[in-house]
Structure 1
């Protein structure tokens, strides 16, 4: 048995500032890994980071920029 620490659906929802329904939808859709224990779901501590990385938008590269992902707004233009 692993020694992972687990969070509840409510804890994940509060952390990400989304509803518990949204988190349950991610679980049921297979996007967020969870373990069903009793009447509730438990999410291993490492899995929300994996989930967020898989949903991150790619960096934008501005043609002719030396800074790669820097856009006009980020440069203060």
Structure 2
């Protein structure tokens, strides 16, 4: 935990397909999920990483993506 700068468990570290040899895991990570989150947040993060949305140049980081997905789910549930 000290080596990677992780403060508590569980912590999920999502790495890109290629990591520079001199990079630490935390520095190379495309996302880090410290702790346990709700199922919606976890699903959104897994989806954001699986779809490689971190590579898009659309200004939508995970927080914006997650906020949009929450709104979309709320809109569907209100119908």
Q: Which TM-score applies when normalising by structure 2?
A: 0.27
Q: Which TM-score applies when normalising by structure 1?
A: 0.27
Structure whose alpha-carbon radius of gyration is higher: 1
The structure carrying a bigger helix percent of its residues is 2
